[in-house]
């Protein structure tokens, strides 16, 4: 089982698009169909109780999938999802909300934040890879050993001792794409040849990270609905927090775990 190491921080930062592409490939293969799949350290409840976690600035990428299969990022949708999910994460966990940063503050932490998110993407890819492997490699059967490398500068900038880091990537098909998918289903039924254009793909993950980079809790989550709506955002936020020890949110989740 390959575990991501802190040394890959720079790699995570410079090859984010490749990691995202790999994540999407796993989603297409059927590996990413599980609703939630989380891991925690054995002493996570005690460790988290002693912390004052800060919700990190959210990393949200939302795309529009055209009739021709071109995926184009929509900044307006990305901001819409961020606006919906950010307060829900704070409400459900009781953690300090993601800060509203000035341009100068954002610039100061952008580099390290990008590395941490990149590592979360690699952890997610590693996690999904093991979901496809033999039983002894299944995430629920292995100890949590993920580490993103020390995040002292980032925590000091945010005035925190730990971070809840969230990575959200979603796609929504245009009307033309949906029509093409429906036509593909009809043609498949007539010809027996099943070539149906793909729909949008959702890949979400979250992790609680201590100062030394130790990941205390990690969760991969599917979609809870259209995150551009308050209802879909709330459902997805609750999925993201599944298995998180504490007095609120994920600790009370009844979502089935794989």
DSSP secondary structure letters along 189-218 = HHHS----------EEEEEEEETTSBEEEE
Among 23-32, 65-74, 211-220, name the most confident range.
211-220
Q: Check residues 65 and 85 and name the one with the higher pLDDT.
A: 85
Any domain includes 93: yes
Number of domains present in the structure of the chain: 1
Any domain includes 123: yes
Euclidean distance between CA atoms 245 and 253, whole angstroms: 10
* pLDDT score, position 140: 56
Euclidean distance between CA atoms 222 and 125, whole angstroms: 14
Closest CA to 124 of 202, 193, 204: 204
Q: Check residues 200 and 249 and name the one with the higher pLDDT.
A: 200
* pLDDT score, position 127: 82
Closest CA to 6 of 162, 207, 167, 213: 213
Any domain includes 14: yes
* pLDDT score, position 92: 94
Q: What is the mean pLDDT of the chain?
A: 75
Q: What percent of the chain has pLDDT over 70?
A: 64
Any domain includes 26: yes
Any domain includes 163: yes
pLDDT tops 90 at residue 85: yes
pLDDT tops 60 at residue 113: yes
Any domain includes 151: yes
Quote the pTM value. 0.74
Euclidean distance between CA atoms 45 and 42, whole angstroms: 8
Range of the domain at 205: 6-252
Predicted confidence (pLDDT) per residue in 193-203, tens digit? 444 444 457 88
Predicted confidence (pLDDT) per residue in 130-155, tens digit? 766 555 555 555 678 889 999 998 99
Any domain includes 257: no
Contact 203, 169 (CB under 8 A): yes
Any domain includes 47: yes
């Amino acid at each position: 089982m390959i575990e991501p190491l802190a040394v890959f921080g720079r790699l995570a930062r410079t090859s984010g698009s490749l990691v995202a592409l790999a994540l999407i490939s796993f989603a297409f293969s059927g590996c990413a169909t599980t609703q939630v799949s989380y891991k925690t350290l054995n002493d996570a409840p005690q460790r988290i109780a002693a912390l004052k976690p800060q919700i990190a600035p959210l990393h949200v990428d939302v795309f529009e999938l055209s009739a021709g299969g071109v995926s184009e990022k929509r900044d307006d949708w990305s901001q819409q999802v961020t606006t919906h999910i950010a307060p829900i994460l704070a409400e459900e966990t009781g953690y300090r909300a993601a800060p509203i940063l000035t341009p100068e503050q954002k610039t100061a932490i952008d580099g390290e934040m990008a590395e941490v998110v990149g590592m979360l993407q690699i952890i997610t890819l590693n996690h999904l890879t093991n979901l496809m492997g033999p039983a002894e490699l299944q995430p629920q059967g292995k100890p949590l050993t993920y580490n993103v490398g020390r995040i002292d500068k980032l925590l000091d900038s945010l005035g925190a001792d730990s971070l809840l880091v969230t990575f959200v990537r979603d796609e929504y098909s245009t009307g033309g794409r949906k029509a093409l998918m429906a036509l593909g289903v009809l043609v498949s039924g007539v010809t027996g040849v099943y070539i149906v254009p793909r729909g949008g793909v959702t890949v979400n993950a979250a992790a609680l990270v201590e100062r030394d980079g130790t990941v205390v809790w990690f969760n991969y989550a599917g979609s809870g609905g259209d995150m551009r709506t308050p209802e879909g955002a709330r459902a997805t936020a609750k999925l993201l927090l599944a298995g998180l020890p504490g007095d609120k949110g994920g600790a009370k989740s009844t979502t089935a775990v794989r």
